Structure 1
Amino acid sequence: MTSPRRAPLDVPALRRDLLTPSGPLARLDVLHVSASTNTELVDAAGRAPREWPAPAALVAEHQAAGRGRAGREWQTPPRAALTVSVLLRPRLAPARLGWLPLVAGLAVARAVTAAGVDGAALKWPNDVLLPAADDVPGLGPFRKVAGVLAEVVPDARDDATPAVVVGVGLNVDQAAAELPVPTATSLAFAGAVGADRGALLGVLVRELVGVVRRLEVADGDAVAAGLGREYAAASATLGTLVRAELAGGRGTVEGEAVRVAADGGLVVATPAGERTVTAGDVHHLRTTGSQPGHSPR
């Protein structure tokens, strides 16, 4: 018998709530199992773009080989997490697409707050954290509750609006023994036992579509849209000494994370001057000021 805490998603109810004309989505598919919702949605939208109008969402009750940054794989027990990928066709210049994983993190943090868990913070560029009682290397007094992965959909049509798939893996019901690594946490572990994955999905999708529309209205200017300020207020990275391991083995950058650039890159103040990190793994070393709640410079 299925535990109420891990009941299957009520797909008819989700479709009534989330599909147009009254909801934010043009299409919603729910799978029993997927190796990776991002991989499946990127492939499907690339093969048949007209069958996947945006915004569209692909949800998996169980993701067997989820993907994170740098090709890292992860998986969760069936129905213990919210694993969803959202197809967007944002009317943004390519140079502004770097803000998508950042504002997606804001959307996830708001869904976490709506579930009754306080203190969600954002680690640049794609992690959502919750406060912890002790420090761990690379995160400080936090544990990871969710990750975001944004991928551009290859499309050969010259007139196509660029499509981006934003994938989210949010730990919902895992007990401590079910968490993949000691640096992870879940909503249940943080006290939100029995959090409803369907309700989380609804908040997350609405928040994500909303922040992307705000970016579009502001022509991709996150500061003008007010999103730069909101991101800085929730950031666990800004105001912290960090070490950034650059993508492709291009070395490291160490210094204070001082702000987010117009393209979504992380600006780090080093002894040799400011450096902007656009891709890489960031490790928190120690806090230099009060955060989250850092004021943008």
Structure 2
Amino acid sequence: MTSAHDDQTPPDDGRPALRADFLRELLVAPAGPLARLEVVAESPSTNAELARAVAQDPDAWPAPALLVAEHQPAGRGRHGRTWTTPPRAALLGSLLLRPAVPRAALSWLPLLAGLATARALRATAGVDAVVKWPNDVLVPDPGAGSPPPLRKVAGILAEVLPDGGVVVGVGLNVTQTRDELPVPTATSLALAGAATTDREVVLVALHEAFGEILARWQDAGGDAHAAGLDADCAGIIATLGTRVRVERVGGGDVVGLATGLAPDGGLELRHDDGTTSVHHSGDVHHLRPHD
């Protein structure tokens, strides 16, 4: 696989290309947390492409390795959903990990990636990013109403590979205009009034934050509670304390108050009849009080 844009002049459309060599200087060891970083002009799905590359030549992809695409015409989300982004308008990347933790602990990875993304956006873009359990990052969108409603700015997809590795994909909307967004409930950093829409600045901050969080998690043997990461995640998850409806993958909706995170990162609900349940997947909808 060859990297793109290393020696190309950035397009003169207000959306400059990522400089792969510059990013390697900052993010690849010994300066940064990564073992390899590649930027490609286009990928149908960075998760699928990285998984395929690792299967074909695992020695060429030592973890942690990052694959970033400038354009993704058929990105994959949860439950097989697809979406597209204009070239150079978003950060679209997948990170290969081989964490030294029990397999059962891998269920925390989407939440940890969400925590890292929200922290990086707060620090660099100055937006009040929060997480909607389990894998969406939301920011206030001033142009969508008053008070500004929370809109999705990033999505996360974690997939376990046959060899035990994990690919964590993040798609972050950066400079899309409103008519370039895939759904009305989405937004971008530009629309959210971010202090910066420099994708290189955000990418570096994101992976520095994720590297610090992963180190804490692995040092604790994958025990999110021992690492204090369960509390960190709970503190940034807007779903908690909210009445929600969970659309379960197998069918049927469940409604209740989101009261906390289970030891494996699942969402704990308390129902109107006093019973409780824990959910590990499904689409979550935040309900207004009268709903």
Please, what TM-score do these two structures have when normalized by structure 2? 0.90
Indicate the SS of the match to 2:190.
coil
Question: 1:194–1:113: structure 2 CA closer, same or farther, 3 Å change rule?
Answer: closer
Indicate the SS of the match to 1:6.
coil
Kindly indicate whether the alpha-carbon contact (under 8 Å) linking 2:124 and 2:196 is maintained by their aligned counterparts in 1. no
Indicate the SS of the match to 2:250.
helix
Matches within 5 A, 1:13-162: 13-132=22-141, 141-155=149-163, 162=164
Which residue is 1:281 aligned to? 283
**1:71 & 1:78 partners in 2: Cα distance?**
22
Q: What's the CA shift for 1:282?
A: 0.8
**2:192 & 2:112 partners in 1: Cα distance?**
23
Question: 1:172–1:287: structure 2 CA closer, same or farther, 3 Å change rule?
Answer: farther
Q: Which amino acid aligns with 1:243?
A: R
Kindly indicate whether the alpha-carbon contact (under 8 Å) linking 2:115 and 2:233 is maintained by their aligned counterparts in 1. yes
Q: How large is the RMSD of aligned CA atoms in angstroms?
A: 2.0
**1:121 & 1:287 partners in 2: Cα distance?**
20
Q: Which amino acid aligns with 2:114?
A: G
Which residue is 1:197 aligned to? 199
Q: What's the CA shift for 1:133?
A: 5.2
Please, what TM-score do these two structures have when normalized by structure 1? 0.89
Kindly indicate whether the alpha-carbon contact (under 8 Å) linking 2:105 and 2:222 is maintained by their aligned counterparts in 1. yes
In the alignment, which of 227, 231, 238 is matched to residue 233 of structure 2? 231
Question: 1:28–1:57: structure 2 CA closer, same or farther, 3 Å change rule?
Answer: same
**1:119 & 1:76 partners in 2: Cα distance?**
23
**1:63 & 1:97 partners in 2: Cα distance?**
26
> What are the ranges of 5 or more consecutive residues in structure 1 without an aligned counterpart?
156-161, 289-297
Bigger mean CA offset, 2-11 vs 225-234: 2-11
Q: Could you say which structure has the higher strand fraction? A: 1
**1:51 & 1:2 partners in 2: Cα distance?**
30
Which residue is 1:269 aligned to? 270
**1:239 & 1:272 partners in 2: Cα distance?**
15
Q: What's the CA shift for 1:135?
A: 8.7
Kindly indicate whether the alpha-carbon contact (under 8 Å) linking 1:83 and 1:167 is maintained by their aligned counterparts in 2. yes
Which residue is 1:181 aligned to? 183
Indicate the SS of the match to 1:247.
coil
Q: What's the CA shift for 1:132?
A: 3.7
Q: Which amino acid aligns with 2:219?
A: V
Identity %: 54
Indicate the SS of the match to 2:288.
strand
